[in-house]
Amino acid sequence: MTERRIKVLLAKPGLDGHDVGAKVVVQALMEAGFDVIYTGLRQTPDAIAAAAAEAGVDVIGLSILSGAHISLCRRIRDLLQEKGLYDKLWIVGGNIPEQDRMVLRQLGYRGVFPTGSRTDQIVSFIREHVK
Amino acid sequence: MTDKPIDKEKSARKEAPVRRVVNESGIEIKPQYTAEDVLLTGGIDASRAGEAPFTRGIHPLMYRHRPWTMRQYTGFANAADTNKRFKYLIANGQTGLNVAFDLATQCGYDSDAPEAVGEVGRVGMAVDTLRDFEIAFDGIDLDAITVSLTINGAAAILIAMYLAMAEKRGYDVAKLRGTAQNDILKEFIGRGTWIYPVDPSVKLVADTIEYCAKVAPKYSPVSVCGYHIRESGATPAEEMGYAFAIAKAYTDAALARGLDIDEFAGRLSFNFNIFGNLFEQVAKFRAGRRLWARIILDGYGAKKPESGWLRMIAGGGGFGLTIEQPENNIMRGAYYALIAALGGAQTMALCCYDEAYTIPTPKAQRISLRTMQLLIEEIGLADTVDPLGGSYYVESLTNQLEEKIVEAMDWVDAKGGIVKAVSDGVIQAKVSEYAFARQKALESGALRKVGVNCYTDTDEEKPQVDLHGYDEMGAIEQLDALRQMRATRNNDAVERALAAVRAEARAGRNVMPALMQAVKAYATVGEMTNALVDVYGRFREPTELWRKVA
């Protein structure tokens, strides 16, 4: 098999310090055989978009538990589009109430994984959606 | 049973193998404990409550004298809104306050900083200047209600704000009680509201300990948190072991200032978690109490017995709560409160049943408060000290937990001490690996979680949880107030005060007196933080190494 490994950037935007889930997802994606870049905490939207472009990733994943997901996802969406990364898979996880999930999908985040999601759901979602 | 021989196959089927049970700390649990187990694990500590090493409790009468302080974590929007919620909780019988700050405040940004967009007043109360503290505690008697500030990276600044506010209202700071969380080392492991690099961060903690020992000797400047390390993935034994390693680092830093151990050790406090197996947690608290007493009294040679008290808030349990079937969290909260009471906590706070969804509603806060009040008023938890003392099981576990806690402390030592382990990221990696293992066990069903991987709902009924909406108006008001403050304060005085903060930091002196002056001149949290960043720089998280270890 010469199949290319899927490359994922997992980022913690904003000031939120909850990184237990993000680090668990990073480990799950690595175990699934993906290449994973984890940004660490407190990344600005600019830094995340720049890192995604530079590393040439297939997937941009955001983890936000502070409740600020809509404003952050909107700013990051604008920057990802500016960099021409609209064809990549954008996903977001965290403490996301039901009524916000559709808003995030409409912003272009095709995968929304609220608290309580299983890591294998995230892995198979990425496998299915990365071209 | 008859004596008649039965065929082997049948007998094997009949005697189902005894289920093997190993608790999270790695201790194998026997189906039954006897006096022999207690002896084999080291016997019973015969001291009474109030006698070193305090296995049974730090006070002779414990809750018979005074029940634990009830201190729900509260704060949202701005100081005025939070003040109202404080008064609601006090009216409902709460006996202490535990202030939640928004992330901008916690990370040292003003409400008008670009980093603060969307965060002002979201997860806690926004604070920019002393004015916010004046409003937040208006009408609250600071002698009758003790206040705990859940603040870490910006702790030196907010402690200065609290002391300045109390002083302005005419309280004698030398007699003022209260607590700041101010445990920056655990922020690097979990929770993440660090600002400066590790070494200057520890230096600032030592500044607050030294300053409070001299100026506000009844104030507890640090609450060392195993809590968040446990939330991040540590076992109960590691939670306590790592907390002790951290507390020793602060103790060493304070001693290096020339303080005597008895001048400050009695004001160190702790914060531990209460989710998980009841008996394991109770044993953790009992073992932790006697180990800490030995560390301070024997190891550091403190003379005052109270220097060796493991004073603690036990609470939260956030990781144990679930988004599925949220009503179950009310029952979990009740059992967790029972754990804290059986464990001899001085202060208790419970995560609310709706907290996986939202900032708790007043109703959810009231249920948590009532849970604790029920234990005191109806269930008999405030009647006698250490009710599980003498239980073969709990005494054996206490002995075994103590060994496991020492093991965790030894592991940190082997990694070059807690400051190095944190700077290198190895402790973060270890904790995170366990969190991943726990997640896999949850997903496979090996770790049972009611409503998550067993007894799940078959109907499609949606959980009924009211959400606390984010109030944009609160943020707008905060920005207006900040703008007005910048326009009306004496900006020359602010500049002079900030220059003094920078100069003291550069000279390596204690920055607290200069911060007190800056706070009183209504300098903002962001301005004071930036003055310190000018000298100390900002922390960079070691994510590369974390990836390698993982």
Over the stretch B353-377, which tens digit does the pLDDT of each residue have? 998 888 899 999 999 999 999 999 9
Chain-chain contact of A66 with B122 (C-beta, under 8 angstroms): yes
Chain-chain contact of A17 with B192 (C-beta, under 8 angstroms): yes
Report the alpha-carbon distance of residue B93 to residue B113 in Å, rounded.
38
Percent of chain B residues past pLDDT 70, beyond the cut: 96
Query: Which of the residue ranges A127-131, B105-109, B223-227, B285-289 would you say has the lowest mean pLDDT?
Result: A127-131
Pick B470 or B547 by higher pLDDT: B470
Query: Following CA atoms B134, B136, B140, B145 in sequence, which dihedral angle do they give, to the nearest 10 degrees?
Result: -110
Q: Which fold has domain A7-117?
A: Rossmann fold (3.40.50)
**Cis amide bond preceding B53, omega within 30:** yes
Q: What ipTM does this complex have?
A: 0.95
pLDDT at B2 over 80: no
pLDDT at B11 over 60: no
Backbone angles phi and psi of B201, in degrees to 5: -65, -45
User: What are the residues whose beta carbons fall under 8 Å from the beta carbon of A102, sequence distance 6 or more?
Assistant: none
Q: Report the predicted TM-score, pTM, of the whole model to 2 decimal places.
A: 0.95
User: What are the residues whose beta carbons fall under 8 Å from the beta carbon of B196, sequence distance 6 or more?
Assistant: B153, B204, B532, B533, B536, B537, B538, B539
User: What are the residues whose beta carbons fall under 8 Å from the beta carbon of B506, sequence distance 6 or more?
Assistant: B535
Backbone angles phi and psi of B473, in degrees to 5: -60, -40
Residues of chain A contacting residue B451, judged by C-beta atoms under 8 Å apart: none
Segment (H or E) for A83: none
**Interface probe with B: pick from A9, A16, A23, most Cβ of B within 10 Å:** A23
* Touching A: B residues 313-372, CB under 8 Å: 322-324, 356-358
Dump pLDDT digits (tens) for B396-441.
Answer: 999 999 999 999 999 999 999 999 999 999 999 999 999 999 999 9
Average pLDDT, stretch B249-274? 98
- Structure-token pair, residue B150: 């859940």
Residue of A nearest to B465 (CA): A97
The helix/strand/coil state of A59 is strand
A84 inside 8 A of chain B by CB:
no
Buried b (16+ CB within 10 A) or exposed e, B90-120: beeebbbbbbbbbbbbbbbbbbbbebbbbbb
- Dihedral sign (CA B156, B148, B473, B354): positive
Average pLDDT, stretch B45-52? 97
Look at chain A and count its residues: 131
Q: How many CB atoms lie within 10 A of CB B55?
A: 26
Going by pLDDT thresholds of 50, 70 and 90, the confidence category of residue B1 is very low
A121 inside 8 A of chain B by CB:
no
Query: Which candidate from A20, A115, A116 shows the least CB-CB separation from B190?
Result: A20
CATH code of the domain made up of B37-385+410-444? 3.20.20.240
Residues of chain A contacting residue B122, judged by C-beta atoms under 8 Å apart: 66-68
B550 inside 8 A of chain A by CB:
yes
Going by pLDDT thresholds of 50, 70 and 90, the confidence category of residue B314 is very high
Asked if B108 contacts B119 with a C-beta cutoff of 8 angstroms, the reply is no
Report the alpha-carbon distance of residue B9 to residue B157 in Å, rounded.
72
Query: What is the per-residue pLDDT for B328?
Result: 96
Going by pLDDT thresholds of 50, 70 and 90, the confidence category of residue B470 is confident
Delimit the domains of chain A by residue range: 7-117
Query: What is the per-residue pLDDT for B550?
Result: 39
A1 inside 8 A of chain B by CB:
no
Query: What is the per-residue pLDDT for B128?
Result: 98
The rounded mean pLDDT for chain B is: 94
Report the alpha-carbon distance of residue A113 to residue A102 in Å, rounded.
12
Report the alpha-carbon distance of residue B508 to residue B461 in Å, rounded.
60
Question: How far from B208 is each of A61, B254, B264, CA to CA, in Å?
Answer: 39, 9, 11
As beta bridge partners, residue B147 has B97
pLDDT at B66 over 90: yes
Q: Which residue has the tokens 């006090």?
A: B90
Q: Which residues of chain A have pLDDT under 50?
A: 1
pLDDT at B14 over 70: no
Region label for B524, one of left (φ > 0), alpha (ψ between -120 and 50) or beta (otherwise): beta
Rounded to the nearest angstrom, the minimum Cα separation between A41 and chain B is 7
Q: Which residue has the tokens 């960079």?
A: B540
- Dihedral sign (CA B408, B411, B416, B421): negative
Asked if B380 contacts B362 with a C-beta cutoff of 8 angstroms, the reply is no
**Interface probe with A: pick from B225, B428, B432, most Cβ of A within 10 Å:** B432
**Interface probe with B: pick from A39, A42, A75, A113, most Cβ of B within 10 Å:** A42
Asked if B271 contacts B312 with a C-beta cutoff of 8 angstroms, the reply is yes
Chain-chain contact of B550 with A26 (C-beta, under 8 angstroms): yes
Q: How many CB atoms lie within 10 A of CB B445?
A: 11
**Interface probe with A: pick from B231, B436, B465, most Cβ of A within 10 Å:** B436
Going by pLDDT thresholds of 50, 70 and 90, the confidence category of residue B544 is low
Backbone angles phi and psi of A70, in degrees to 5: -70, -50
Which amino acid would we find at residue B230? R
Residue of A nearest to B325 (CA): A116
Query: What is the per-residue pLDDT for B545?
Result: 47
Chain-chain contact of A15 with B452 (C-beta, under 8 angstroms): no
Chain-chain contact of A24 with B435 (C-beta, under 8 angstroms): yes
Residue of A nearest to B467 (CA): A97
Dump pLDDT digits (tens) for B113-144.
Answer: 999 999 999 999 999 999 999 999 999 999 99
Average pLDDT, stretch B55-83? 96
Asked if A29 contacts A36 with a C-beta cutoff of 8 angstroms, the reply is yes
Report the alpha-carbon distance of residue A101 to residue B168 in Å, rounded.
47
pLDDT at B542 over 90: no
Q: What is the DSSP string of A16-41?
A: ----HHHHHHHHHHHHTT-EEEE--S
Delimit the domains of chain B by residue range: 37-385+410-444
B507 inside 8 A of chain A by CB:
no
Asked if B198 contacts B423 with a C-beta cutoff of 8 angstroms, the reply is yes
- Structure-token pair, residue A76: 């990051």
